[in-house]
C-alpha cells in the first residue's frame, strides 16, 4: 500500500475505487481525487488499523463511492512516534493527508475514537473561507490553511462528546490491565463487550477470527497508551456549546448532512452518550442493531444506514 509523509510522520493509506464496465475494483496508488465528489474518508478507532473497514468497503464501493482509509499514527504501517496523542493531533494528521492527496470534497465518517478525530477535524478545519474561524478553542494549529478540503457530510459513529464517569473508569481499568497483562489481553476483554451474546453462540468461525486478530495485535504498550490518551482526554462539549450559542453547525456542515449513529446495545460507549452528542451537534440520530462492534457483527444494517444517510445528504 502507498505511504506519504505528512505532519511529521509517514502515513499508510489506501484508495479503493468502485468497479466500472471496463475495470474491476482496484486500489489506486496515486489517484487524483480533487474533483471526486463521492469520496468517503473512513477514520478508525482505538487500536484498529485500516482493515477495520473490510466489512464496509464492498458495500460502499457497490454504491459508487471511492474509499480512502488509512492507519492512524501508532498502528499498522503508519509511524509510531512517542505519545501521548490527542484527537486534535490526529485530526492534523488527517488534514495533512487530505492536502497531500489534493482532496477538495469528501464525506467524513469516523467510528469510536475515529468519531472523536472527526469531531476534532470538523472543529479545527470547518467548511469556510475565514482563516480565523477555527471552531475549536484555543487555536493551536501551525499548519497553513490554504486549499482547505471541504466536508460534504459528517458521520459520527459509536462515539461521544465526553467520556463520562463510566467510560473514564473503564479506560483507567484498561490502562491497568495493559500494564499488568498486555495490550492483547485488554483487546480480548473488549471483544467480550463489543459483540452480542448471539454472536458468541452462533458465529463461531467469525469469533475465532476476531480472537486470533486480538491475540496477534501488533501494538506495543507505548503506542496503546499514546492512543488511549485520545479517548481519555477528549471533550468537545464546550466547543459544541459555543457553536450552538453562535448559531453555527459543526464543521460548517448543514444539519441535514450530519449524522450521529449508535449501536442500540453498545455498552462500551453507551448509546446515551451518543444521543447526548447528537443533541449538541444536531442533525440525524440513528441506531442500528448490535453494540460497539455493530459495524462488524451487523455490517449490513450499519452499511445500509450509512448509505441511506449519504443518499439523503446528496439531495
211 lies in a domain?
no
Neighbours of 239 (CB within 10 A): 21
The closest of 237, 76, 271, 65 to 152, measured between CA atoms, is 65
228 lies in a domain?
no
Q: What is the pLDDT of residue 19?
A: 81
Neighbours of 289 (CB within 10 A): 15
Mean pLDDT of 93-122: 98
Question: What residue numbers bound the domain in which 7 lies?
Answer: 3-163+233-313
Q: What is the pLDDT of residue 26?
A: 56
291 lies in a domain?
yes
138 lies in a domain?
yes
Q: How far apart (Å, rounded) are the C-alpha atoms in residues 209 and 207? A: 5
Total number of domains in the chain: 1
* Residue 20's pLDDT band (cuts 50, 70, 90): confident
186 lies in a domain?
no
CATH for 26 = 3.40.50.1820
Q: What is the pLDDT of residue 29?
A: 43
11 lies in a domain?
yes
184 lies in a domain?
no
Place of cell 453462540: 201
Mean pLDDT of the chain: 92
123 lies in a domain?
yes
Residue 133 above 90 pLDDT? no
Q: Residues 6 or more apart from 134 whose CB is under 8 A from it? A: 123, 124, 125, 126, 141
pLDDT in tens, 249-288: 999 999 999 999 999 999 999 999 999 999 999 999 999 9
Q: What is the pLDDT of residue 126?
A: 97
CA separation (Å) from 235 to 140, 160, 239, 283? 16, 8, 9, 19
What pTM does this model have? 0.92
Q: What is the pLDDT of residue 110?
A: 98
Mean pLDDT of 31-49: 79
| Cβ-contact 109, 117 below 8 angstroms | no
Residue 233 above 70 pLDDT? yes
**DSSP H helical segments within the chain, as ranges?**
57-62, 87-100, 113-124, 164-180, 183-194, 197-202, 204-215, 221-233, 237-245, 271-281, 294-297, 299-313
Residue 140 above 50 pLDDT? no
Q: How far apart (Å, rounded) are the C-alpha atoms in residues 138 and 310? A: 32
Amino acid at each position: 500500500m502507498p505511504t506519504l509523509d505528512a505532519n511529521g510522520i509517514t502515513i499508510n493509506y489506501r484508495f479503493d475505487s468502485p468497479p466500472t464496465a471496463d475495470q474491476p475494483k482496484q486500489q489506486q496508488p496515486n489517484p487524483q481525487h480533487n474533483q471526486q465528489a463521492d469520496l468517503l474518508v473512513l477514520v478508525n478507532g482505538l487500536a484498529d488499523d485500516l482493515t477495520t473497514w473490510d466489512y464496509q468497503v464492498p458495500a460502499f464501493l457497490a454504491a459508487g463511492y471511492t474509499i480512502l482509509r488509512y492507519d492512524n499514527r501508532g498502528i499498522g504501517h503508519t509511524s509510531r512516534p512517542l505519545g501521548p496523542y490527542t484527537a486534535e493531533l490526529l485530526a492534523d494528521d488527517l488534514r495533512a493527508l487530505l492536502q497531500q492527496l489534493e482532496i477538495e470534497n469528501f464525506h467524513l465518517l469516523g467510528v469510536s475514537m475515529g468519531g472523536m478525530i472527526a469531531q476534532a477535524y470538523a472543529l479545527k478545519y470547518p467548511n469556510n473561507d475565514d482563516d480565523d474561524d477555527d471552531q475549536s478553542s484555543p487555536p493551536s494549529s501551525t499548519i497553513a490553511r490554504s486549499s482547505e478540503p471541504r466536508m460534504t457530510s459528517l458521520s459520527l459513529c459509536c462515539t461521544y462528546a465526553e467520556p463520562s464517569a463510566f467510560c473514564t473508569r473503564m479506560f483507567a481499568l484498561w490502562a491497568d490491565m495493559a500494564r499488568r497483562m498486555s495490550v492483547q489481553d485488554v483487546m480480548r476483554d473488549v471483544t467480550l463487550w463489543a459483540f452480542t451474546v448471539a454472536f458468541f453462540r452462533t458465529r463461531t468461525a467469525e469469533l475465532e477470527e476476531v480472537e486470533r486478530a486480538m491475540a496477534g495485535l501488533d501494538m506495543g504498550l507505548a503506542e496503546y497508551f499514546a492512543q488511549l490518551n485520545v479517548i481519555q482526554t477528549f471533550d468537545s462539549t464546550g466547543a459544541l456549546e459555543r457553536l450552538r450559542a453562535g448559531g453555527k453547525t459543526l464543521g460548517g456542515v448543514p444539519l441535514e448532512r450530519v449524522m450521529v449513529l449508535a449501536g442500540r446495545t453498545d455498552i462500551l460507549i453507551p448509546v446515551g452518550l451518543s444521543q447526548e452528542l447528537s443533541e449538541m451537534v444536531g442533525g440525524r440520530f440513528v441506531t442500528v442493531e448490535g453494540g460497539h462492534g455493530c459495524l462488524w457483527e451487523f455490517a449490513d444494517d450499519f452499511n445500509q444506514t450509512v448509505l441511506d444517510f449519504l443518499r439523503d445528504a446528496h439531495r
